[in-house]
Structure 1
Amino acid sequence: MHKVMIIDDEPIIVEGLRRSVAWDKFGCEVVACAYNGAEGRQLIIEHRPDIIFLDICMPEMDGLSMVAALKSEYSDMQIAVLTGFRDFEYAKTAINLGVCRFLLKPSNMDEIEEAIAFMVSRIHDNSNPEDGGRLNENKDSEKPVSEDSFHEKETHEEAAGNFIVRKALEYMGEHYNEKLMLAEVSEKIYVSQWHLSKLLNKETGQNFSELLNGIRVRKAQELLKNPSYRIADVADMVGFGEVNHFSKVFKKINGLSPNEFRNKIS
């Protein structure tokens, strides 16, 4: 049986989907339901569902980041978005990240069942490459569906990875002056620390500490233009608690100490 999860902050939607759909007909069973993104993330880790129905417009949740995280970390997971958010660009981004269906509330049963059937066919396609992947035979195509699906999967994974890295760097750029840890950033964008670390390295060639130090030093360069700030003040303002450590990192990146840099630009 294919494992299904439903994540929506409206209990009536969750119960309606769970009870109204003839899941057995598709070889599926609902293994868990969640009512917010944080709870959903924990249950996904616990149950590793094959299919997810996800509302991406819930309080305190970045829906696109959640989608990107799931498609990057669990690339075979099939996701259908069920939302009342009617925005073409938002829908386009979600589909580019690998969402199978973008369903607007209220959706009728035909739309929901078509989405389930499509996601189940995708699961079979991914798990049975030896049959040529021809669950949906296309006589005009010279390539087997499985090859197309493989390249499509790679494209979605790459898009999801890029999205996650961009979101991580944005968050670091907004919170660089705090005591920022990899665990906090990964939690905000719904991926594991290990996966975020791998993506940052792959996309930028640098680890988390190097990227954060780079952001802090660039901010420090701007602040050093103001002679009223002491070096210790600048170090504290950009998130370095200890001035000697700040000076060491600054010189490693710039080839100049903070004082030398200030003298050069003054």
Structure 2
Amino acid sequence: MYKLLIAEDVKLVRETLALSIDWERLGIELVGVAKNGEEALEWLKHDPPDLLLTDIGMPKRNGLELIEAFRACKPDIRCIILSGLNEFEFARQAIKLQVMEYIMKPIDPEEIEQVFSKITAEMHREREERRGIELLEQGLKDRLPNLANALPTVEWTGSLKKKKLVEQAIQVIRESYSRKELTLSDVADEVGLSEKYVNALVKEVTGMTINHWIVMLRMEEAARMLKDPANRIYEICDRIGYADQDHFRETFKKQFGLTPTDYRNNYL
């Protein structure tokens, strides 16, 4: 269930919004109805909602000020404006604040249901994507710290020697993946094997080529660094071995399904 807060200064409109719409059917829990901006801000102190439906022309903080305050506390909140003020300036400010919808009064419960149905469907998709990313990250964390335990048991003669060679190759990659010029040739030289043989061996034992390992380790480090807002994206790009930010962005999106910026926004 997604939590919704309604902020509306007109009592009749508040009651209509609260009682005429089947919020539960939409997967929404109506956690509160505030009669002005100040009252709505109290929710930030104990239980910030996932959704905010707010009028613009309210006393004690108007709707746009309210949205700005809620976004500062919870950047991923979905904000919907409900207003009879059909003025371009308000709409322009709403767009700047990334308001999802701008609904005009008089209210139409059917229209509001359609709007929220669309928004919750999008939120559900994003939640599932985040869940998938978390599972992928957990899988990487489980797999990377102890490669020896993660490697499958193999049947061929000399398997222990092959396993140790693979561990050695992966260790080289771990220590060097941030180098912009790191190549398959460098890894092969470090372990004293031909490029073709070491690459085939690593893929046989781990299911991934050496280039895949380089990319995976770089992307895992990028994901970790993105969770700290002090790390700028161009700095992350440089520190994990990418000279081109566009290349980094496309590679990251291919790995995680999100751009670095979107990934960061989802975790802050």
What TM-score, normalized to structure 2?
A: 0.48
What TM-score, normalized to structure 1?
A: 0.48
